[in-house]
Structure 1
Amino acid sequence: MKATIERATLLKGLSHVQSVVERRNTIPILSNVLIDAQPGGTLRLMATDLDLQIDETIAAAIDQPGATTISAHTLFDIVRKLPEGSQVELSAAEGRIVVTAGRARFTLSTLPRDDFPVIAEGELPTTFELPAETLKQIIDKTRFAISTEETRYYLNGIFLHVSDESTPVLKAAATDGHRLARVTVARPDGAESMPDVIIPRKCVAELRKLLDEVDGSVGVSLSNSKIRFDLGQAILTSKLIDGTFPDYSRVIPTGNDKILKIDPRSFMEGVDRVSTIATEKTRAVKLGLERDKIILSVTSPENGAAAEEVPGDYAAQPFEIGFNSRYLMDILGQIEGDLVEVHLADAAAPTLIRENDKSPALYVLMPMRV
């Protein structure tokens, strides 16, 4: 195998694939990236952790087609440190690859391409397209609520499902048991009979990185166990989480009649200021709701007390409720408009937060005792 490629092009491709590769691997081949020089001027880069696979095609001058595998992180670090604008020559033979750029020359050991595992996709009967912007919105507004608790593995991802309401919709939801985020978008053509799927957290993170370089639409193909995203130059394939996502619609409150309307920025900044003295363990902030104002307060046995008054539109009965300040700020950080609606019932009931009833995103936050 022999190929010549511009450093910037190779670096961009390697930055995508190497992030899939785990730093510590008991199986040596999984530390490697597959480099396949194909006739016709394309270089294929591929990496996998057996659950997630990325396959990227980039332009290169191919002198001799062939394929090999090499340590992903080592090659990425080498290319990253090469001079800008340099041409990188990759030449592989007899268990070695020589990387040359200008006066620099590296000789690295390789493993045979035949040992490299490829995720077998099988049939992917459901196929549809989503604009890259829509997919970004779905991820950005839900992923902060994905659970990191390994015992509840079925919450370690974004739940995607279709629903027939007044108009057919596609819903994405994530929860960790303390908070819930849900985004609703129009159902794309082809998604009618799609199975309910849970996209793993790592796949969501890699997909979000790749979406920054996609302008148009993303092709989505899926079955009960696998999902594939076609992003033009890159194809991301992932196993899905084999589990049942809880019926989250039951925790979305419908009768919360105490409504607070407030500027999300000033609300978030106030919560951030008073929670400076909150203990790392509880992060509890108390909201005292009174007519057209909220008194934010934190009491910490170690640090003392803090309070701040924030103006807001509130006309219901005064009462107090506590929240985890970080969870509250995570949700407020997703609100793009100048006004957020906080629908409350009492100090122990789930609270609904949204921009308005037309907003595609909706959040539920469980209160805390303070």
Structure 2
Amino acid sequence: MQLTIERAALLKALGHVQSVVERRNTIPILSNVLLSAGRDSVSFSATDLDMEMVDEAEAQVTTEGQITAPAHTLYEIVRKLPEGADVELTYDGTDPRLTVAAGRSRFNLPVLPSGDFPVMTADSGGVRFTLMKEDLARLIDKTRFAISTEETRYYLNGLYLHTIAEEGQLLLRAVATDGHRLALAETPAPEGSAGGPGVIVPRKTVDQVRRLLDDGSGPVEIQVSAQKVRFEFGRASLTSKVIDGAFPDYARVIPRGNDKIAGIDNRVFASAVDRVSTISAEKSRSVKLAFDAGRVTLTVRNMEAGQGVEEVEIDYDEAPFEIGFNARYLLDVAGQIEGEQAQFRFADPASPTLVLDPSDPGVQYVLMPLRV
């Protein structure tokens, strides 16, 4: 195999695929990237057995062929080469090394046979549809902060992507929850998505897709089956297994009859929460909200650090009551509100609270209260 490729194109492709590779691997081949040189292009593949990333770049191919090389090492070498350099990759089969040459720089990297590289099979079933880049980014950004990190409840370690019919409209919906909070975002379902299975996309896959959205342009082709989900970004594609489990019936958690409504300036409220939580105990990070006519008083008590109190003007004219929340959860939700105002809907101090963004009716957040 012998080819010449521009550093920028090589760096971009390697940057995409090497992020899939785990830093520590018990299986040596999984630390490598598969290089496949064709007529006028070279493709790069990496996998962790649950997810496979493939990207392709134009190259001047002298000799076609395949070989695998250490992903992170190759990426770091290319990253440190001077901008505008032409990089030559050579493997002749007689020496078990891949030669990387650019200008006066020359590196020899150990290789492993391409035949040992595991290739993820594609699922032919399921549905296939196209989603605009901005819509997919919004679904992810509005929800992924609520994905659980507890490995015991593995079925919460991902984003639940599914279609649902509501009020005569078909919607593509993303939901994430960790049992303490829930985030939901939806967009009109694209053509072809109807009838597809609901799948739980793993957290690592969600993060990779979001990273690719920043680099790519144009619409994203999505294929969803019961076992796998595939995202295609032009020449790059990401195929991932989905989490084998049943996502909870989240609709039962979303409160429908919360009648105490408070309109709050989101930026002012978030700043106040951030200030008073400075002295909160790190484990609970609980902040008490005391609602009264036209105002909410935020209080944090810490036996060691003292007490923090701040008052914020709000639009509220219901009966006074108190409720407590995890300060970090409040700030996470506030960070997703696009408009100036956030709307909090309460039932009582022990029931879930619904948070809405009046500027974006397609998102909903649910927060479980704390005892304070």
User: Fold match, TM over 0.5?
Assistant: yes
Q: Which residue of 2 aligns with 1:27?
A: 27
Identity of aligned residues (%): 54
Q: Which residue of 2 aligns with 1:327?
A: 329
- Cα drift, residue 357 of structure 1: 8.8
Q: Which residue of 2 aligns with 1:117?
A: 118
Q: Deviations over 1:172-228 (max 9, x none)?
A: 100000000001211111111101111010000000000112322111112100011
Tell me the SS of whatever aligns to 2:215.
coil
Q: Which residue of 2 aligns with 1:233?
A: 235
Please tell me the root mean square deviation across aligned C-alpha atoms, in Å. Answer: 1.0
Tell me the SS of whatever aligns to 1:356.
coil
Aligned match for 1:189, one of 186, 191, 195: 191
Q: Which residue of 2 aligns with 1:51?
A: 50
Q: Supply the distance in 1 between the matched residues of 2:109 and 2:154 (Cα, whole angstroms).
A: 39
Q: Deviations over 1:294-330 (max 9, x none)?
A: 1111001110000111111000011111000001100
Q: Which residue of 2 aligns with 1:300?
A: 302
Q: Which residue of 1 aligns with 2:339?
A: 337
Q: Deviations over 1:98-157 (max 9, x none)?
A: 000111110111001000001112323311111010000000000000001101000000
- Cα drift, residue 356 of structure 1: 2.7
- Cα drift, residue 20 of structure 1: 0.2
Q: How many residues align?
A: 369
* In the alignment, structure 1 residue 38 sits paired with structure 2 residue 38: yes
The alpha-carbon distance between structure 1 residues 266 and 227, as it changes in their structure 2 partners (threshold 3 A), is same
Q: Which residue of 2 aligns with 1:70?
A: 69
Q: Supply the distance in 2 between the matched residues of 1:35 and 1:302 (Cα, whole angstroms).
A: 58
Q: Deviations over 1:254-275 (max 9, x none)?
A: 1111100011111101000100
Instruction: In structure 1, list runs of 5 or more residues that go unmatched.
Output: none
- Cα drift, residue 358 of structure 1: 6.0
User: What does 1:1-370 correspond to in 2, within 5 Å?
Assistant: 1-39=1-39, 41-94=40-93, 95-165=96-166, 166-356=168-358, 359-370=361-372
Give the letter aligned to residue 148 of structure 1: T
Range that drifts further, 11-20 or 357-366: 357-366
**TM-score, normalised via structure 1 length:** 0.98
Q: Supply the distance in 2 between the matched residues of 1:164 and 1:365 (Cα, whole angstroms).
A: 25
Q: Supply the distance in 2 between the matched residues of 1:357 and 1:315 (Cα, whole angstroms).
A: 22
Q: Deviations over 1:36-86 (max 9, x none)?
A: 1111x1110010000001010111111111110000000011111111211
Q: Supply the distance in 2 between the matched residues of 1:6 and 1:215 (Cα, whole angstroms).
A: 21
Range that drifts further, 85-94 or 269-278: 85-94
**TM-score, normalised via structure 2 length:** 0.98
Give the letter aligned to residue 26 of structure 1: T
The 8 Å contact of residues 21 and 72 in structure 1, kept in 2 or not, is answered as: yes
Give the letter aligned to residue 115 of structure 1: D
Tell me the SS of whatever aligns to 2:255.
coil
The 8 Å contact of residues 124 and 227 in structure 1, kept in 2 or not, is answered as: no
Q: Supply the distance in 2 between the matched residues of 1:177 and 1:290 (Cα, whole angstroms).
A: 29
- Cα drift, residue 12 of structure 1: 1.0
Tell me the SS of whatever aligns to 1:8.
helix
The 8 Å contact of residues 124 and 226 in structure 1, kept in 2 or not, is answered as: no
Instruction: Give 4+ residue runs of structure 1 displaced > 2 Å after superposition.
Output: none
The 8 Å contact of residues 338 and 359 in structure 2, kept in 1 or not, is answered as: no
Give the letter aligned to residue 89 of structure 1: E
Range that drifts further, 83-92 or 236-245: 83-92
Q: Supply the distance in 2 between the matched residues of 1:92 and 1:277 (Cα, whole angstroms).
A: 60
Give the letter aligned to residue 164 of structure 2: S
The 8 Å contact of residues 295 and 307 in structure 1, kept in 2 or not, is answered as: yes
The 8 Å contact of residues 199 and 243 in structure 2, kept in 1 or not, is answered as: yes
The alpha-carbon distance between structure 1 residues 6 and 27, as it changes in their structure 2 partners (threshold 3 A), is same
Tell me the SS of whatever aligns to 2:91.
strand
The 8 Å contact of residues 338 and 360 in structure 2, kept in 1 or not, is answered as: no
Q: Supply the distance in 2 between the matched residues of 1:111 and 1:368 (Cα, whole angstroms).
A: 54
Q: Supply the distance in 2 between the matched residues of 1:37 and 1:60 (Cα, whole angstroms).
A: 8
Q: Supply the distance in 2 between the matched residues of 1:358 and 1:317 (Cα, whole angstroms).
A: 28
The 8 Å contact of residues 163 and 171 in structure 1, kept in 2 or not, is answered as: yes
Give the letter aligned to residue 309 of structure 2: A
Q: Supply the distance in 2 between the matched residues of 1:215 and 1:353 (Cα, whole angstroms).
A: 32
